[in-house]
Amino acid sequence: MKDPYSVLGVSAYADDEDIKKAYRELVRKYHPDNYHDNPLEDLAEEKMKEINEAYDAINAERSAGYSSSTYGSSRARYGYTRQDSGQSARQNSSTSNNVYLRVRQAINSGDLATADRLLSTIQTRDAEWNFLMGSLCYRKGWLDEARRYYLAAVKMDPGNMEYRQAASYMDMQGSFYRPARPGMTSNDACSCCSTLIAADCCCECLGGDLISCC
Amino acid sequence: MYGYVRPVKGELLVREYEEFRSVYCGLCHTLKHRYGFAARFILNYDFTFLAMLLSPEGETVCRELRRCAVSPIRKKVCRAICGELELAADISVILAYYRIKDALSDNGFFRTIPIRPAAWCVSLMRKRAIKYRPEYDRYVYGYLKELNTLEKENCDSIDKVADCFAKCLSVAASEAGTGPRERVISQILYHLGRVIYILDAYDDLQEDLKAGRYNAVSTRYFADGIIDDDEKEQLRSTIFDSLTIILADFELLGKNTYTTIITNIIRLGLPQTVEAVLDGTYEPAKRREIR
C-alpha cells in the first residue's frame, strides 16, 4: 500500500486539522457527483477508495498514539454508495418493459453499442426511452443531445426524480468551473465579517462606532 | 489543429512559462529532425499541450541547449527529443495534411493556388508520418471520411459531426499505450476535440453562411440564419459541459512535470478562448508571444 500521507498530499508532521482539510478537498474533487455517468467513473471510485483508506490509516495510527483522540469510526465517510442510476425506478419499469432493463445493464457495463441497438428497436418513445437515450449520449460524450433527451424526459414525466436529477447534474457540473487560484478574491462570510470588524475598529479609533455591541 | 489550446501567460509562474517554452521549442526541433525544415511551420500550441499531457507521471524531463533559425546566436533551453514529442509531431503532421486537403476541396481551383505548394510539402511529410504511425493515419482517414459524408448529408446533430473529429484526437492516446492513464487521456482528448471542432465551426460561421457551405453550428443552432442570445447560450453551455468533463478527468491523472501548466490551460486558457471566439474577439496567437 502507498504511504497514506502522500495519498492525501500532506506531510507526515501535519496536524489533524490540515489532514482533515486535505481529505475534504480530495473528497470534493473525486466526489461521485463529478463523475456521474462518466465512463471513467470506475477510476474515480478507485481513487476515492484509496483516499478513504489513507485517511482511515492515518486516523488509526494517530488514535493509537494519543488515546484521547476524538476521531473514530463514527466519522462520516464519503464514497460511491449512491444508487446506480436509480435502482428503484428500474424495478418499477422492469415489469412493464424488459428491454429497458437490458438497456440499463448494457449502459452500466459500458456496452454502448448494445444499448444503442436495443433503444433503436423500441417504437414508443416515452419518458424512460428519452432518459436512457440521454444517458447513453452522455456516456458517448454527445453532450448536446444528452441534454436535449434529459429535458424531453423531464417534460414527459415531470414527477420522476431520476430524470430530474440527471438533468440537474449537467447544470450542477457546469458550476464546478471555478477559477484556478481561489483565495485571491475570497468573498466568503468570514472575510465579510472580518472586514466589518476592521471597519468598526477604524471607526472607534476616530471616536465613532459602527457595531455598537463591540 | 487550430492553436486554441494555450495557457494564460500572465497566470503562469516564470518557471512554468520557461517549461512551457522548452516543450514548444522541443516540439519544433522534433518536427525538424523528423520531417525537415518546412515542418516547423505547422508547429502550434495545441500539440505542445498534447506533448505535455502525454508525458508520463512523476517524470523529471531531460532538457538541452540548442540553437535554431529563430534564435541563431543564443542557445535556448529545449526539451530533449523523446517519445511524447515524436508522437505529438507525427500527429500534427497527419492532422495538418487532412486539414489542408479539406481546404483544397472546400475552395475552387483559383483560390487554392496560393496554398498548393504548402499542400505538396505537407503531403510529402505525411508520407513519412504514415511509416511511423500507419494505424493512426488509417483511423483518421476513416473518421474524416465519415465526417465528410455527414457534412454532405447536412447532418443537424452537432454531436455526431463533432464526434468524428473528436475521435481523431482520442485515438492518439492509444498510440501511447493502453493503460488506465491512456484511457483518461483518450477521454480528455475526445472532449478537447469536440470543443475545438465546435469552436472552429463557430469561427467560420459567417464565412460559411456567405459561401453557402455546410456549418455544423449553424445547422444545429442557427437554422433560421439569425444568431440570437438564447441559442448562443445553449452553444456555450454544451462547450462548457465538455470543459467540465475535461477538468474532472484531468484530476484522475497522476502528477507529471507539467501538471500546473496543463491546469492553467484547462481552467483559464480554454474558457478564455471559448469566450473570445463566442464574442468574436478571438485572435490567433502570434508565435513571437511565446519566445
pLDDT (0 to 100) of residue B149:
93
Reply yes or no on whether the pLDDT at B265 is more than 60.
Answer: yes
Cell (9 digits) for A109 = 457495463
* B237 to A140: CB separation less than 8 angstroms, yes or no: no
* B241 to A179: CB separation less than 8 angstroms, yes or no: no
Chain B interface with A: residues with Cβ < 8 Å? 11, 157-160, 163, 166, 180, 183-184, 187, 190-191, 194, 220, 234, 237-238, 240-245, 247-249, 251-252, 263-264, 267-268, 271
- For B20-46, the pLDDT digits (tens) are 999 999 999 999 999 998 888 888 899
A57 at the B interface (CB within 8 A)? no
* A180 to B263: CB separation less than 8 angstroms, yes or no: yes
Q: Give the Cα separation of B50 and B13 in Å (integer).
A: 20
The dihedral sign for the CA sequence B136, B139, B141, B147:
negative
- For B81-113, the pLDDT digits (tens) are 999 999 999 999 999 999 999 888 877 788 888
Cell (9 digits) for B109 = 481551383
21-40 in chain A: CB under 8 A from chain B: 29-30, 34-35, 38-40
pLDDT band (50, 70, 90) for residue A55: very high
pLDDT band (50, 70, 90) for residue A98: confident
Give the closest-approach CA distance of A170 to chain B in angstroms: 7
pLDDT band (50, 70, 90) for residue B223: confident
pLDDT (0 to 100) of residue A178:
47
The mean pLDDT value for A174-198 works out to 52
Residue to test with chain B: of A138, A144, A175, A181, most B Cβ within 10 A? A144
- With respect to residue B249, please indicate whether it lies within any of the assigned structural domains: yes
Reply yes or no on whether the pLDDT at A203 is more than 70.
Answer: no
pLDDT (0 to 100) of residue A198:
65
* B252 to A34: CB separation less than 8 angstroms, yes or no: no
* B187 to A40: CB separation less than 8 angstroms, yes or no: yes
Count of domains forming chain B: 1
CATH code of the domain in which B191 resides:
1.10.600.10
What are the backbone angles phi and psi of residue B289, rounded to the nearest 5°? -55, -30
Chain A residues inside the 8 Å CB shell of B190: 141
Instruction: Specify which of A63-67, A134-138, A206-210 reaches the highest per-range mean pLDDT.
Output: A134-138
pLDDT band (50, 70, 90) for residue A193: low
pLDDT (0 to 100) of residue A200:
67
Tally Cβ neighbours within 10 Å of residue B269.
Answer: 24
Residue to test with chain A: of B249, B260, B262, B275, most A Cβ within 10 A? B249
DSSP assignment of chain B: --S-----GGGS-HHHHHHHHHHHHHHHHHHHHHH-GGGGGG--HHHHHHHHHHSPTTPPPPEEEE--SSSSSS-EEEEPP-HHHHHHHHHHHHHHHHHHHHHHHHS-TTTTGGGHHHHHHHHHHHHHHHHH-HHHHHHHHHHHHHHHHHHHTT---HHHHHHHHHHHHHHHHHHH-SSHHHHHHHHHHHHHHHHHHHHHHHHTHHHHHHHT---HHHHHT-TTS---HHHHHHHHHHHHHHHHHHHHHHTTSPP-TTHHHHHHIIIIIHHHHHHHHHHT---PPPGGGG-
pLDDT (0 to 100) of residue A65:
67
pLDDT (0 to 100) of residue B207:
85
pLDDT (0 to 100) of residue B44:
86
What CATH number labels A4-65?
Answer: 1.10.287.110
Report which of residues A85 and B78 the model is more confident about.
Answer: B78
Residue to test with chain B: of A29, A45, A51, A143, most B Cβ within 10 A? A143
Nearest to B39 by CA among B75, B93, B95: B93
- For A170-184, the pLDDT digits (tens) are 777 665 564 444 434
Q: Which residue has the cell 512554468?
A: B16
Give the closest-approach CA distance of A80 to chain B in angstroms: 16
Give the closest of B194, B251, B268 to A141, CB-based.
Answer: B194
In CATH terms, is domain A91-174 a member of 1.10.1660.10? no
Reply yes or no on whether the pLDDT at A66 is more than 90.
Answer: no
Give the closest-approach CA distance of A117 to chain B in angstroms: 16
A190 at the B interface (CB within 8 A)? no
pLDDT band (50, 70, 90) for residue B286: low
- With respect to residue B101, please indicate whether it lies within any of the assigned structural domains: yes
Report which of residues A70 and B244 the model is more confident about.
Answer: B244
Q: What is the longest distance spanned by two Cα atoms in chain A?
A: 80
Reply yes or no on whether the pLDDT at B131 is more than 90.
Answer: yes
pLDDT (0 to 100) of residue B285:
67
Give the closest-approach CA distance of A180 to chain B in angstroms: 6
Range of the domain at B22: 9-283
Alpha-carbon Rg for chain B in angstroms: 19
- With respect to residue B2, please indicate whether it lies within any of the assigned structural domains: no
Show me where the domains of chain A are located. 4-65, 91-174, 183-214
Reply yes or no on whether the pLDDT at B197 is more than 50.
Answer: yes
- For A100-150, the pLDDT digits (tens) are 888 998 888 888 899 999 888 888 888 899 999 999 999 999 999 999 999
pLDDT (0 to 100) of residue A185:
42
* B190 to A144: CB separation less than 8 angstroms, yes or no: no
Reply yes or no on whether the pLDDT at B270 is more than 70.
Answer: yes
Mean pLDDT taken over chain B: 89
